[in-house]
Amino acid sequence: MTVFIASLFLPKTVYFNLPDAPPKTSAKVHRPSNHGAPKRAPLNTRPSLFAPLPATTPPLTPTEDDSAVEDVLFLNDEGLPVNASKDEEFKAPADKPSPSWGGRAFQPTSRAASPPPASILDHEKTFEKAKELGRQGVAQPSMSRSDSHDRVFANANWRIVNADQGNGGLRNAAEAAARDGHDGEFTWVGTLGMPTDALGGTQQKNDIRDRLATEFNMLSVFCKDKDFDGHYLHFCKQILWPVFHYQIPDNPKSKAYEDHSWQFYVNVNQAFADTIVQNWKRGDTIWIHDYHLLLLPGMIRKKLPEAKIGLFLHVAFPSSEVFRCLAMRKQLLEGMLGANLIGFQINEYTRHFLQTCSRLLSVETTNQGIQIEDRFVDVTNAAIGIDPVNLNLHRQDPEVMKWVNIMKDRYKDKKIIVARDKLDVLRGVRQKLLAYELFLKKNPSWRDKIVLIQVALPTSEQSGLDAAVGDIVARINSTWANLAYQPVVYLKQDIPYSQYLALLTIADALMITSQREGMNLTSHEFVVCQDGAHCDRKHGSLILSEFTGTSSLFGGQELSVNPWSYRQCSEAINQAIEMPDEERKSRWSALREVVSNQTGSHWFTTFLSQLDQSYEVHYRQDQISIPRLNLNRLAKQYTESERRLFLLDFEGTLISNETMRDKVPASPQRTLSVLNDLAFDNRNTIFVMSARRTAELERLFRLVPNLGLIAENGCFIKYPSKNIWTEFADKEKVLLWKQSVRSILQYYLERTPGSEIEDRSCSIIFHFRNAEDFAMAERQASDWTAHINESCEDQHVHATQLEDSVVVESFDWTKDTAASHVYEQIQTNAKSNSEDSPPDFLMVVGDGREDEKVFRWANKLQESGDVKEAITVTLSSRNTEATSTLTQGISGVLVTLQKLASLS
């Protein structure tokens, strides 16, 4: 079966050979020129940190007699040569940033117009202002694009090449999994990473789509330029990316396009959904990646209810207080919940997502996932890793060794701290430099002996950060530099992959001070490069921000820092370079073990395996898959059994919930009659499970003497023919957590007129059915539910929001623990009494969420062979652990029990 890997960018893209491009031959283009002047440097020699120092003589002015560009090389928007051969292996850091969209000379230019105004109402004002400027003779900027531009690309020769944008970590993980023997067939789904309106209605577009599909197993998603521009450059980059990294979009720059770009975000997600739905076959797997496609799971679920869908978020997920700032927060969450399994990098992001869903959607959450109306969505965390095997192959490249030797000679007798970051606010470059400056001030003995090499990748973000960082670098160098020493080597551009690997190999420490980051794979690559295989410098220290997802994986073996604490960062630098060799080796060995185990291939196969398991469980528990209770088969099982145990839920199963809403509910006469008839057979043991207090149950069932009772969802048990209750809850623990919970609920009680708190022996119930403003109370209920779950998790307490109340109870004593105790007690009695025997027939009937654990417990007893026949029946319409359903409700339960009683 096929695994569809949906990511915004495909691993391949298209480069066009334009008519005015230099010819393929390497012959020179002869023009009138001064032949005595030196030639311009070849195109592929670019500025480098580590090249031999240039002569001090200023270079000569270039002449027009230049060598032609070879056709086999293109330049990306960073000025790097890109090999256009489709067989060339993709080589780049795992977290290499994506270049700008629509900015390459050998790809079409975007047809997207200028960004819309902040409000639709301002559009007319903008138009009037433009006309007024025109009357005043002020020239307006014109589009550089023309129809002839489109015609050029519609007829130009083209080739498919490795893309230099997209999720490099995902791409490496998929390739590693395939190499390691994963037998699945992968089909990538994504865009070409370039504007495509110029190809609309042309044969070029069809040819590109067909070749990618047939030769590379890739499905191209073609969307309008304006849709992609609004989706990627506006909504993703200016709204979602800041929020996911705790940057609240409260400035005009990000708010300006929100209303408009949301529709573009929807359009792009819909284009992906249409492509996948068109190609999906039963049994296929759909794996969706990252924040660009959060609506996609829900869109596919509407079209393909039976599809197996996984979603993995590669970035951080913020707390609910931050996420709720998004205007489209509910739509995004509901779109994500279309998946069967949702994955995050670390447990912190998983917890944030569960809390956010609980607060904003008022859904029931557990540590395993989220219960929605008709199914359960599993939530997990699995950290992505790198491919050490492929990385080690690249390290053997002679070019890497050349740069290692150059750097060893250049920085002989000096400690080297290496850093490579995007030049944006989140990467903490400014904080890092300030901490390094503080280190040099506090440790004069290390001046002239340590160098910070900072590679800063330029971004399209317009801010004052560039100037601020430049000022700090200039200040540090002007303070402590001399003719033979420069404390900071700052390069505002990316470097070739060979130099990048050489940097990681030669470094004494890698310093990462991100303010917030999902998973920093540069740290993983650094650990691999520090094995000493290609350099005598080895076992370098890792200085890592505690706000990266990677920090939670390394078990304290890294030097964890708060990037806002300059003192702590400067002390970490000192600790890193003065650390004894034995400690460095010990820390590095522990880090290397983590990196070796948490590989990209392991992450890839593990997530798909979890998705398969989740889907199988969902399919098995889906109401459509659960058969109706077969009464004839049940009667046969009943009559052939020797000892029977019935565990029957009370509210909603033996009596309606509406009846139980009364403070003093009437005794259910029909139910009592049926239970009396069933209990008349001494081979039957019957227990009624309820959330009610002990006194209430005694009053309701006083006319059924041979009946066992379980009160307050498992905290109390009363055995048949006994007058005493056995309490299982620890009173001291209950009193302790009640004090914590009551103070929280009291706060909300004062702010919710008409609500009340019911204090039971082992639980507390906050009723807001009679609240003066029920709608407000219902919205607030999700807040105090999340508040209790976050504050009292260590006390083993869980709050659940119901239709008109919030129930707070311990999960140490539940219906399934009580059922297990009852079963063990009956077994013990059977062993001491030769005339008695353990149950060989077990029937559990219920309708609520708390009954699911009892169903699961009973099914396991049958699977293990402890019970010959275990019948689990649900009256609920949602997914369930039960093996059968009763669609007739309470009446059907009573009729079934009455029929069994008549067979005795």
Residue 578 burial (CB count, 10 A): 11
pLDDT of residue 135: 62
pLDDT of residue 81: 39
Q: Please give the full DSSP string across 239-258, using - where no structure is assigned.
A: IIHHHHTT----SHHHHTTH
The mean pLDDT of 879-885, rounded to a whole number, is 88
User: pTM for this one?
Assistant: 0.81
State how far the Cα of 432 lies from the Cα of 421, in Å rounded to an integer: 11
State how far the Cα of 449 lies from the Cα of 474, in Å rounded to an integer: 19
Tokens linked to 639: 């009559």
pLDDT in tens, 286-334: 999 999 999 999 999 999 999 999 999 999 999 998 998 898 999 999 9
Q: Which of 36-45, 678-687, 717-726, 869-878 has the lowest mean pLDDT?
A: 36-45
Residue 827 burial (CB count, 10 A): 14
What contacts 170, CB < 8 A, 6 or more positions away? 5, 7, 289, 314, 384
Residue pair 880/847 in contact (Cβ under 8 Å)? The answer is no
Residue given tokens 């929280």 in the structure block: 744
Residue 331 burial (CB count, 10 A): 16
Residue 384 burial (CB count, 10 A): 26
State how far the Cα of 808 lies from the Cα of 29, in Å rounded to an integer: 81
Residue given tokens 């779109």 in the structure block: 335
User: What band does 856 get if pLDDT is binned at 50, 70 and 90?
Assistant: very high
Q: Is the pLDDT of residue 78 over 50?
A: no
Mean pLDDT of the chain: 84
Tokens linked to 716: 């109390």
State how far the Cα of 835 lies from the Cα of 652, in Å rounded to an integer: 36
Tokens linked to 481: 């530099």
Helices and strands (H, E) in the chain, number of each type: 30, 31
pLDDT of residue 858: 94
State how far the Cα of 360 lies from the Cα of 783, in Å rounded to an integer: 8
User: To the nearest 10°, the Cα dihedral for 81, 82, 84, 89?
Assistant: 130
What contacts 514, CB < 8 A, 6 or more positions away? 421, 426, 427, 428, 520, 545, 547, 548, 563
Total residue length of the chain: 904
Bridge partners of 162, per DSSP, are: 12
pLDDT of residue 63: 37
State how far the Cα of 372 lies from the Cα of 730, in Å rounded to an integer: 32
User: What band does 38 get if pLDDT is binned at 50, 70 and 90?
Assistant: very low
The mean pLDDT of 710-727, rounded to a whole number, is 90
Residue 624 burial (CB count, 10 A): 9
The mean pLDDT of 702-727, rounded to a whole number, is 90
Residue 321 burial (CB count, 10 A): 13
State how far the Cα of 487 lies from the Cα of 473, in Å rounded to an integer: 9
What percent of the chain stands above pLDDT 90? 51
Q: Is the pLDDT of residue 47 over 60?
A: no
The Cα diameter of the chain in Å comes to 116
pLDDT of residue 405: 92
State how far the Cα of 197 lies from the Cα of 474, in Å rounded to an integer: 45
What percent of the chain stands above pLDDT 70? 84
pLDDT of residue 539: 93
User: What band does 728 get if pLDDT is binned at 50, 70 and 90?
Assistant: confident
The mean pLDDT of 330-354, rounded to a whole number, is 95
The mean pLDDT of 3-16, rounded to a whole number, is 94
Q: How far is CA 267 from the centre of its chain?
A: 22
pLDDT in tens, 107-130: 888 877 655 544 445 555 655 665
